[in-house]
Structure 1
Amino acid sequence: MLVHLGGIPTVIVSSPSAAREILRTHDLNCCSRPRLLGTGRLSYDYLDIAFVEYGDYWKEVRKISVLELFSAKRIESFRYVREEEVASMIDSIAKSANSGTPINMSERFMALTADITCRVAFGKAFPWMELNDGKFMDMIDEATAMLGSFSASDFFPRFGWIVDRFTGLHARLEKSFRKLDNFYQKVIEEHRNAYKSNEEEEDIVDLLLKMERDRTELAGVQLKEDNIKAILMVHSTVATYYLS
C-alpha cells in the first residue's frame, strides 16, 4: 500500500511475499535508510556506517571495519581486555558472595559486555564515562530518543523547520549533538596526547587516528575527525544497548 506521509511517499508491506520481494529481490534499491533530520545531524551528515546510504562510502567504511577494526588479528589483540574484565567481574562476584550480598548475574554480564565494548572502542571502561562528569548513558539515551523522534522538517520540508523550532525539537537535537560532540572530542584529544608503544594496547580510536594521520581516503573522501566521531557513535550506542 502506498501512502504519503507529508511529502514522503511510503510503501507499507504486510505480506511475506511482498517482504521477500523487497528484502531479497530488490534489496539494493531498498536497503538504505531514509535521510532524516535527527539521523543526519547525529551521524555528522551520514558519515557513520549505520545510517549512510548504500554506496561507495558505505563499502569503504564496512571494509575498514571488517579488515582493520574487527579482523581476527585485531580481535585477538583485544584479548587482554576481555581477560581483565572477566577477572574483574569474577573478583567482584567473589566479594559479593563473601559478604552475603545478592548478585544479579544478568546485570553483571550486561555490564561486562558494556565494559569490554567501551574499552575496545574508547580505551576506558564504562564506569569511567559515568564518573567523568559525562552521564554517558543519559547522553546516549537522549541521542537515541532524537533518532526516533518525529520531525516536521522530514515530512514538510518547506515549513516544517518552523514547527520544529516552535516545539523545541531543533534546540533539543542541537543540545544532544553538542554533548556527544564534546564527549567524542575529549576522547580523541586524550588519545592524541597519549603515547602507546605497544600495538596491543591500541583501541579503535587509536586505529582510526592512525588512519587519519596516514591520510586514508574513503571513496575519495579523506578520513577526518567527523568521520571518526560518526563511527564512534555506533560503538557508544552498542555499549548503552547492553545496559538498557
Structure 2
Amino acid sequence: MLLHLGNIPLLVVSSSDAAREILKTHDLIFSNRPKSSVASGIYDCKDIAFCPYGEYWRQVKSICVHHLLSNRKVQSFRSVREEEVSLMMDKIKKCCFYEKSVVNLSEMFASLTNDVICRVGLGRKYSDGDESGRKFKEVLERLGVLLGGFNVGEFIPWLVWIKYVDGLNGKVRRVAKEIDEFLEFVVKEHKDEKRRKGINEDFVDVLLEIQRNGEGGFALDAISIKALILVCVVFSFSFGSDGF
C-alpha cells in the first residue's frame, strides 16, 4: 500500500513476500533512512543509526560489531554483568527484609540494564544520585521527544522555514550543545591515563585506540567518536529508573 505524507511517499509492507524483497533482495535500495533535521543537528548524522549507507557506514558498523557486539567482547564483560546482578539482588533483599518496602522491579531491571551498559561502554556507572547522569538523562529524554516529533518541513519541503519559527531549531541546538558537553567530558576522562590506570578497557577506550592507530586506514575523528558513543551506548539506556 502506498501512502503520501505531504510530498513524501510511504510504502506500507504488509506481506512476507514484500518484506523479503525489501529487506533481502533489494536491501541496498532501501538501506538509507529519511533525512532528519533533528538527527542532522546532532553530530551531522555521523553515527551508525542515521548516516547514509556507504563506506563510512560500513566502517563504523564494523567497529561496533567487532568491538562492542561480538560474542568474544560480550563474554569478556561477563564479570560486570554478574556483579551488577548481585548488587541488584542485594538491593531487593534490603527492600524486602530490612526496609519492608514495595519493590518496583521495573525500576530495578532498568537500573541494572543502564549500569551494565554504562560500565561496558563508558567505564563507570552514572546512577545512584550521580548529578551528571541525572542531567544527561533529562537531555536524552528531550532529544527523544524531538526525534519522535512531527517536523512539517520534512514532509512539505516548502514549509521547512517553520522550524525557525516554532522553536524546533533552537531546541535542537540546545540539546546538541548539552550532549556534546557531556560526551566531551567522557572522552577527556578516558584520555587521562592516570585516572584510567587499572580500569578495564571499555568501548570509548577502543574508539580512542582506533583513532590513535588509524586501524584499517580509517580516520576516526572526535565527532565520529562522540556520535558512536551516543548511538551505540547512550541510546541503549532505559529510562525507567532514577539513574540513566
* TM-score with structure 2 setting the length: 0.85
TM-fit CA distance, 1:65: 1.5
Verify the 8 A CA contact 1:38 1:149 in the aligned structure 2.
no
Q: Distance in 2 between matches of 1:148 and 1:71?
A: 30
TM-fit CA distance, 1:132: 2.6
Verify the 8 A CA contact 2:127 2:133 in the aligned structure 1.
no
Q: Deviations over 1:43-65 (max 9, x none)?
A: x2221111222222222112112
Aligned to 2:28: 28
Verify the 8 A CA contact 1:140 1:240 in the aligned structure 2.
no
Q: Residues 158-237 of structure 1: matches in 2 within 5 Å?
A: 158=158, 160=160, 162-195=161-194, 196-198=196-198, 201-216=200-215, 222-234=219-231, 235-237=233-235
Q: Please, which moves more after superposition, 55-64 or 172-181?
A: 55-64
Q: Distance in 2 between matches of 1:242 and 1:26?
A: 38
Q: Distance in 1 between matches of 2:129 and 2:173?
A: 21
Q: Deviations over 1:56-112 (max 9, x none)?
A: 222211211222223333223323322321221122122212221221223212211
* TM-score with structure 1 setting the length: 0.85
Aligned to 1:143: 143
TM-fit CA distance, 1:202: 1.2
SS in 1 for 2:10: strand
SS in 2 for 1:10: strand
Verify the 8 A CA contact 1:129 1:136 in the aligned structure 2.
no
Runs of 4 or more above 6 Å deviation: none
CA spacing shift, 1:222–1:90, aligned 2, 3 Å: same
Q: Distance in 2 between matches of 1:89 and 1:134?
A: 20
Identity %: 37
Verify the 8 A CA contact 1:130 1:137 in the aligned structure 2.
no
Q: Which amino acid aligns with 2:131?
A: L
SS in 1 for 2:127: helix
Q: Which amino acid aligns with 1:211?
A: I
Q: Distance in 1 between matches of 2:150 and 2:226?
A: 24
SS in 2 for 1:34: coil
Verify the 8 A CA contact 2:126 2:132 in the aligned structure 1.
no
Verify the 8 A CA contact 2:110 2:238 in the aligned structure 1.
no
Q: Distance in 2 between matches of 1:18 and 1:77?
A: 39
Q: Distance in 1 between matches of 2:94 and 2:185?
A: 34
CA spacing shift, 1:242–1:222, aligned 2, 3 Å: farther
Aligned length: 239
- Any unmatched runs of 5+ in structure 2? none
Verify the 8 A CA contact 1:134 1:183 in the aligned structure 2.
no
TM-fit CA distance, 1:27: 1.9
